[in-house]
Amino acid sequence: MGHPMEPFMREAMALAEKGRWHAAPNPTVGAVLVHQGAVVARGWHTACGQPHAEVECLRDAARNNVDPAECTLVVTLEPCNHHGKTPPCTQAILEAGIRNVVVGFCDPNPKAAGGADFLRGHGVHVETGILEQECRDQITDFLTWVATPLPYTILKLASTLDGKIATRSGNSRWISGPESRARVHELRRRVGAVIVGGTTFRKDDPQLTCRLDETDGALQQPLAVVITSQLPNVPESFKLLRERPEQTVFWTTDDAAQSRAAEVLRERGCTVMALPSTADTTHGARDIAHGLAWLRSHHGCLYTLCEGGGKLALTMLELGLAQEFQLHMAPKIMADSKAPGLFDGRNPATMEEVLGLRMTATEKSGDDVIITLRRREELCSQD
């Protein structure tokens, strides 16, 4: 049997998702107050600079004439214990008279951590680690920003049931259904850059834009990033270079970055930069992490979306540069051994050598299924 507070933690997690994208660079956090087995107040971190989930929950309690001192606070992330853009949530909890707090995941940010111990030191009973892995997964973006200079990268691929991403002739329109494609455009609306490999750029001639109707003002399109050692010699052949060269970035080799093709691309407004070489020749001898860090430091990209192809996708997973993998699987069977598959480039001798992922969510999208996966990692005990 699970912990009795798990259902309430799951509701807090659902509330936290309401703040997805808007809370960045803060974590998405949800909180509920529980009294006699029922949720009586709710709150979530709505946006960066706005009150945290615990404070919003206390405000909801006041609107509902609920006495927090009679309730248990259930929150997905350890209450903060520092003065930032908002006062510490630990102080608000004490002032509300709350004596029992249940925490999902303890805050890894040294600036904000210590809330659980602070509350315990003031007589509050605090229990941590309820749905710990799930709560940790929910703030993997925040963990990435705190621990690395990188943006949070979502890898998205679409495949048939037998793992094919295109016909043998290269046709991939459309594997997934309209609902799944709309979801991809929503992702493009949220991220700062969309990344593809050179083969995808040359074969698909993608626009890499969000094509959703906007009702609240002009749409800020993401940067288009192409990773390739073969720069195009005829820019007019590609939609990106005809329609939005100023928003197009090429990551390439040292030689290609100094070529005449690079000069032509720069004259059109593109950015062409050489990625530093790396000793790990397994991954094309290019330091993709350097480029990702550049997107964050120079363009403020907190989120990026990688749309393949298969070789780039495998590299991103192997190097741990894609923190989230969304596989859009369509109920179609190609049954062609020569059609390209999701991934290629490994030759494991045993199952112990395969790249392991763990599934964290599944969701129906029209006729498709969207499977969310992450790399296997050890969850350090925070208690």
Q: Is 210 annotated as belonging to a binding site? A: no
Q: How many CB atoms lie within 10 A of CB 382?
A: 17
pLDDT score, position 170: 80
Is 208 annotated as belonging to a binding site? yes
pLDDT-based confidence at 283, cuts 50/70/90?
A: very low
89 assigned ligand-binding residue: yes
Q: Is 200 known to sit in a ligand binding site?
A: yes
Q: Is 211 annotated as a binding residue?
A: yes
**For position 379, what pLDDT does the model report?**
44
Higher-confidence residue of 15 and 1: namely: 15
Q: What is the pLDDT of residues 103-154, one digit of tens each?
A: 999 988 767 668 999 999 999 999 999 999 999 999 999 999 999 999 999 9
pTM for the full model? 0.91
Cα–Cα distance list, 372 to 8, 157, 221, 357 (Å): 23, 11, 25, 10
In the chain, the domains with their CATH numbers are: 5-139 (3.40.140.10), 148-375 (3.40.430.10)
Is 267 annotated as ligand-binding? yes
Which ranges in 161-257 belong to alpha helices (H)?
Answer: 178-190, 198-204, 239-243, 254-257
Over the stretch 11-54, which tens digit does the pLDDT of each residue have?
999 999 999 999 999 999 999 999 999 999 999 999 999 999 99
Identify the sign of the CA torsion 340, 345, 349, 350.
negative
* Residue from 343, 374, 366, 382 nearest 152 by CA: 374
Q: How does strand 223-227 pair with strand 72-77?
A: unpaired
In this predicted model, what pLDDT tens digit does every residue of 302-342 receive, in sequence order? 999 999 888 899 999 999 999 999 999 999 999 999 998 89
Q: How confident is the model at residue 280 (pLDDT cuts 50, 70, 90)?
A: low
Q: pLDDT, tens digit, for every residue of 178-189? A: 999 999 999 999
DSSP state, residue 275: P
Contact 29, 44 (CB under 8 A): yes
Rounded CA gap, 326 and 247, in Å?
25
pLDDT confidence of 198, banded at 50, 70, 90? very high
Q: Which residues are part of the catalytic machinery? A: 54
- The β-bridge partners of 70 are none
* Residue 180 annotated as part of some ligand binding site: no
Is 158 assigned to a binding site? yes
251 vs 284, higher pLDDT: 251
Angstrom distance (rounded) from CA 277 to CA 256: 13
Q: What 8-state DSSP symbol labels residue 51?
A: P
Is residue 126 a contact partner of residue 96, using CB atoms and an 8 Å limit? no
